Amino acid sequence: MLGYHSADEIRAAEAATGDLLASGVLMRRAAAGLAGVVAAELRARRGAVYGSRVGLVVGAGDNGGDALFAGANLRARGVAVTAVLLAPDRAHAAGLAAFRRAGGRVVDALGHDLDLVVDGVVGLGGSGPLRPAAAAVFEHVRAPVVAVDIPSGVDADTGVVHDPSVHAAVTVTFGARRRAHILAADQCGRVECVDIGIDVPGARMVALDDHDVATNWPVPGPADDKYSQGVTGIIAGSDRFPGAAMLCTGAAVAATSGMVRYVGTAAGDILSRHPEVVAAPDLDSAGRVQAWVIGPGAGTDDDAADKVHSILATDLPVLVDADGLTVLAAHLDWVQQREAPTLLTPHAGEFARLAGAPVGSDRVTAVTDLATRLGATVLLKGRITVVADGAGPVLVNDAGASWAATAGAGDVLSGLAGALLAAGLTARVAAASAARVHAHAAILAARGDDDTSAGAPIGASDLLAAIRPAIREMRSVA
């Protein structure tokens, strides 16, 4: 499990070190770590550190100081280092002096023959897009960029990527990861965290790793049977959208070794593909379940609304998605009155209908506020999935790619998460675990049998077929 911290949490941890911060020890540790990462990157890219060429883009304050001290360190390793000072009269004095003593050169513009460029413009205190002078420098940069702490132009807490901003190949941070490192994961590139001796408290934003998911994922024990492993009820699909039912139900079948019951009009199609599913024409004959999934492709008419209301009136865990969320947006009290776990899985448009306003730039705060207001767990879909229940830490997941941005992929996610609810996982852990397996399955499906990193577009059927291989790979790390 990885924690991601706010700027205030990092500042407080640094301030708590007292003399280490005031005397510049923390900065020198950070600079040494930054130089080490840059040297390793040079070695990986060109096979040597000595004789390499590195440019620094240096802003005012401590972020620029980190870059200048690192530049001095690199000069001692035989690297030719040049620096553009965006605010010469406010450059970090000690860092600039060390840089010049080491033989670093201050220039008006970076050359085109550089192996790497270090972004030392702004750090945690930065907000908004690159200022014109910085943007003019980076406009001509062709070398890979190593960012100090946060790529400039990216908000540290919200992960908002402004235009213009720096796109980093590597981001080097210190002591602990910042929230932007996952909320703007693509912009940050690979994140290297350097230990500088600060003590950061437990994070209020965390990401489950493969080991966490593998440990949580339900597998049959010696005393288990089909009922003890969780019975998932699915209400999905319609005459117009039978595929939603097949995708959602198929994912629930693939997720666990329990049992799946289906209620809806697509029973014939589902049974032809998944004969193990127990189908019923209506709720009265559905049988007992441990959790319900309702909404994908199920319609928004009065009959659909009656089903949503009936399911939410039970004392069972319920996942509401797609059409179910559209129905629910007009009846939020159906969720607010519940005591049993409720998991809502909207995309941005559905979220806006539930919240009465667009998600906005601060996705984490928006999801947390909605979850708190409804007394539910909310999973906001996207490449970076955000899960909040208003109580525990926010769970986030970086899909690593956007292959799952395809019609029907959300139906697969609903079936996965619903089966985990039925197996007894909490709503927030079920949501985050399902999101991670869903993302990994999308990558496996995109790579196909060639297992190449390039990948090719997929459909939701390909994604569904990759669920079991994804679970198998995930569980191999347990």
Two tokens at 434?
């399902």
- Find how far residue 208's CA is from the centre of its chain: 10
Contacts of 422 (CB under 8 A, 6+ apart): 230, 231, 232, 233, 256, 258, 289, 290, 291, 317
The response to whether 455 counts as a known ligand-binding position is: no
| Residue from 183, 196, 187 nearest 164 by CA | 187
The response to whether 8 counts as a known ligand-binding position is: no
The response to whether 381 counts as a known ligand-binding position is: yes
| Residue from 263, 187, 228, 183 nearest 2 by CA | 183
Distance CA 155, CA 158 (A): 6
For the purposes of burial, counting CB atoms within 10 Å of the CB of 457, is it exposed (0-12), middle (13-18) or buried (19 or more)? Answer: exposed
The response to whether 316 counts as a known ligand-binding position is: no
The response to whether 354 counts as a known ligand-binding position is: no
The response to whether 225 counts as a known ligand-binding position is: no
3-state helix, strand, coil in the chain (%, to 5): 40, 15, 40
The response to whether 385 counts as a known ligand-binding position is: yes
The response to whether 347 counts as a known ligand-binding position is: yes
Distance CA 444, CA 60 (A): 44
The response to whether 124 counts as a known ligand-binding position is: yes
Distance CA 151, CA 147 (A): 5
The response to whether 411 counts as a known ligand-binding position is: yes
The response to whether 315 counts as a known ligand-binding position is: no
The response to whether 410 counts as a known ligand-binding position is: yes
The response to whether 203 counts as a known ligand-binding position is: no
Instruction: Give the DSSP per-residue string, 371-391.
Output: HHHHTSEEEE-SSEEEEE-SS
The response to whether 402 counts as a known ligand-binding position is: no
The response to whether 448 counts as a known ligand-binding position is: no
Question: Alpha helix (H) ranges present in 23-155?
Answer: 25-46, 62-75, 93-101, 132-138
The response to whether 287 counts as a known ligand-binding position is: no
| Residue from 69, 81, 59, 53 nearest 134 by CA | 59
The response to whether 123 counts as a known ligand-binding position is: yes
The response to whether 62 counts as a known ligand-binding position is: yes
State the angle between helix axes of 93-101 and 62-75 in degrees (0 to 180), rounded to the nearest 10.
10
The response to whether 64 counts as a known ligand-binding position is: yes
The response to whether 384 counts as a known ligand-binding position is: yes
Query: 376: how many CB neighbours lie within 10 A of its CB?
Result: 24
Annotation: binding site:
62-66, 119, 123-129, 149, 152, 244, 297, 347, 381-385, 410-411
Annotation: binding site for K(+):
63, 119, 152
Annotation: binding site for (6S)-NADPHX:
62-66, 123-129, 149, 244, 297, 347, 411
Annotation: binding site for AMP:
381-385, 410
